[in-house]
Chains A and B, each alone.
Chain A
Amino acid sequence: METDFRRVVVVGYGKATGNILKYVDDKKTDYGYSLEFIEHEPHALSVTGQICKERGIPYASIPDKKKLGGYLGGIKEETLILSASNNFLFPASLVERENITIINFHNALLPDYPGRNAPSWVIYQGESQTGITWHYVTAGVDEGSIIIQKTCEIGPDMKAYELTERLMDLACEGFYECFAAVLAKSVQARPQQFSPDRRMYRSTQVPGDGFLDLKKEPEELYRLLRSVDYGKSDIFPPLQTLVDGARAEVLRYRKIAPEKRKDEEKMLYLSLADGNLLKIKYRLKG
């Protein structure tokens, strides 16, 4: 098995990155490249560092954007950079280098939903299907030619973190399918076709502007609640709301059967069209 790439650098965090790192490490001897891992955004529950330790993969944590850009910019040999669950934007000066090829996993079906937190936006917009895209990285965000895409359904009760997990599994599947072609430079990449109203989602944008408007339909509120639900990760601030004119913050929510209703303080129940109740626990703000 042959490749011109002498070095493979994995940048990212999380489950998909860990699995990809293991896969690329397993193939290293067949192709003869060196492998290293860079963590740009440390994560409390991340196990990628441990994977590197167990397998003897060189590992560095470079949270500073400038330093990371400088480090990657110093690479001289022909290198493939794998960006998986990574929010670092590669500078144009690096992307345009002849000895550097970068591929990125985006958690939506490009050209739709480019930018940040795509799983949230597809849930919030009520899409029934989404997927992942592996694409070549160019100077424009999520604009490079498509290597491979995989689709999945969005379940009616799916939360952002559940969809994210599904997409990470799909990202791994897609990667295993295309990695050999990427190494061989034989991918038939497909340029993206952009519509004039293509919207770029930014990290500062929050579905529903972060406000749970209780005057809206319960189904819409449930979509909003699910779309910002990443467990304890602070990807989005807690949703704000108004309860009887008082400012409040949403603590948690759950869809329950009517017979499970248990009236408590600071708890709202809204009737959903499917006969269930949307239970919302909140706290008043001072």
Chain B
Amino acid sequence: MEEKVLEILEEYCEEAISYTGDNMMEEGIIDSFTVINIVSELEDAFDIEVDAKYVVAENFRNKEAIIDLVKRLVEE
């Protein structure tokens, strides 16, 4: 699963893979439009629904946070 998430991230925001901080949005690594694309790909790849309440900067602060989010949603 992790591998697939990273593959999607790499497709839309290569910088996110090497980013080691904890706020990709504020640091301008990723923007709201890229988040829309990533969410759409994740939903399709894992057949999950990402509710709007999860689409907040906190859940997209780095690649680990995104992987955690997907794990939680897959387990739901």
Contacts and interface: CB of A to CB of B under 8 A. Distances in A.
Q: Is B truly associated with A?
A: yes
Contacts of B31: 15, 45, 47
Contact of A15 (B33, B51, B55): B33
A45 B32 contact: yes
Contact of A44 (B26, B43, B44, B57): B57
B1 interface: no
A164 B37 CA distance: 13
A30 to B, nearest CB: 25
Contacts of B44: 252, 254
Interface stretch (A131-139, A181-189, A203-211, A227-235): A227-235
A159 to B, nearest CB: 9
Interface string B37-76: 0011001100101111001110010000000000000000
Nearest to B36: A231
Given A15-B31, A45-B32, A234 B52 contact: yes
A116 to B, nearest CB: 19
Contacts of B57: 44-45
A231 B26 contact: no
Interface in A248-262: 251-252, 254
A44 B25 contact: no
Nearest to A165: B33
A232 B40 CA distance: 9
Chain B's interface size range is 20 to 34
B26 A50 contact: yes
Interface in A155-177: 161-162, 164-165
A264 B44 CA distance: 12
A44 B56 CA distance: 6
Contacts of A165: 33
B8 interface: no
B6 interface: no
Contacts of B26: 47, 50
A14 B36 contact: no
Given A47-B25, A231-B40, A251 B49 contact: yes
A50 B61 CA distance: 14
Interface string A226-244: 0000111110000000000
B33 A232 contact: no
B16 interface: no
Contacts of A14: 32
A47 B56 CA distance: 12
Contact of A45 (B43, B49, B51, B55): B55
Given A14-B32, A45-B35, A162-B33, A232 B55 contact: yes
A231 B55 contact: yes
A201 to B, nearest CB: 22
Given A43-B32, A45-B60, A252-B40, 9 more contacts: A44-B52, A44-B56, A45-B56, A47-B28, A161-B33, A165-B33, A231-B39, A251-B49, A264-B47
Interface of A: 14-15, 43-47, 50, 161-162, 164-165, 230-234, 251-252, 254, 264
By Cβ-Cβ distance, the 8 closest A-B pairs, closest first, are A231-B36, A45-B32, A232-B52, A165-B33, A232-B55, A50-B26, A44-B56, A161-B36
5 contacts: A15-B31, A45-B56, A50-B26, A161-B33, A232-B51
